[in-house]
Amino acid sequence: MPTLSYHRPSSIAEVARLARDDPDAKLLAGGQSIIPSLKLGLLAPSALIDLGGLPELRGVRLEGRSLRIGAMTSHAEVANSPEVRKHVPALAHLAAGIGDRQVRNRGTIGGSLANSDPAADYPAAVLGLGAEIRTDRRAIPADSFFKGLFETALDPDEILTAVEFPLPERAAYVKFPQPASRFALVGVFVSLTGKSVRVAVTGAGPCAFRVAALEQALAKRFAPESLHDITMPADTLNADLHGSAEYRAHLIPVLTRRAVTQALA
């Protein structure tokens, strides 16, 4: 029977050492993806390195014109954080819509981002706000973080420590749930900061992505009407039981319009 070691280090340095010494070990954040994967036998790491003993990875802090959210901050903490609700209400709304109550109390922003599930919500916000991913060794801009299906720019032993979100003028997230799992069949995050518009989509591709055509149209005028004639090509989009690629392509501009309407409200 396979055995699994468990570590609960109390410093980042110790995490780094454990991760470096055992390439088959996995970092454990909230465990909302990794634990089910272990139970289903989809993953068989040699060890779990639990980040739960590192209080410095937890919490929300306003730093000038950006919000710093620690990697181990739970979805519920983000959803209920006064700072997030005041400065980026769209992000609080997004966090409040992840999974169910248990998932939100256990799952963390860092875990979600490092996992890069194609239907996770947070990647849309990170891309849609142009956030910066902080690790134990560098800062990675959102635009170069998501690499593919369950694939990120993180090195195997790299530790995601925090996310820095610049404060937008306007932002909104609209999710169309897959009926069974309630993950995003398509989710769209839009933001407006100065003249810069970002439109990030989750659920529709191998990982979250931005849509230049929608951003350009909205940069001319940030209004739902700006998107009326825009259609999305379906060829690179996900298709499954719950949504064909064409359906997802159809939903992206529809949800973007709704997000813009919400952002303006």
Binding residues (CB under 8 A) for another protein: these are 1, 176, 179-181, 183, 185, 241-244, 247, 250-251, 254-255
104 contacts 95 by C-beta, under 8 angstroms: yes
Tell me how far, at minimum, the Cβ of 194 lies from another protein, in Å. Answer: 30
Tell me how far, at minimum, the Cβ of 182 lies from another protein, in Å. Answer: 9
Query: Measured from the CB atom, is 70 or 243 closer to another protein?
Result: 243
Query: Measured from the CB atom, is 96 or 254 closer to another protein?
Result: 254
Tell me how far, at minimum, the Cβ of 104 lies from another protein, in Å. Answer: 16
Handedness of CA 245, 93, 113, 142 (dihedral sign): positive
Distance CA 232, CA 78 (A): 32
Query: Measured from the CB atom, is 54 or 263 closer to another protein?
Result: 263
Tell me how far, at minimum, the Cβ of 250 lies from another protein, in Å. Answer: 7
Query: Measured from the CB atom, is 106 or 250 closer to another protein?
Result: 250
Q: How many CB atoms lie within 10 A of CB 52?
A: 15
Helix axes 89-96, 122-129, angle to 10 degrees: 170
Amino acid at 216: Q
Tell me how far, at minimum, the Cβ of 24 lies from another protein, in Å. Answer: 20
Residue 192 CA: distances (Å) to CA of 64, 68, 92, 189, 220: 18, 19, 17, 10, 12
Query: Measured from the CB atom, is 169 or 225 closer to another protein?
Result: 225
Bridge partners, residue 191, by sequence: 171, 198
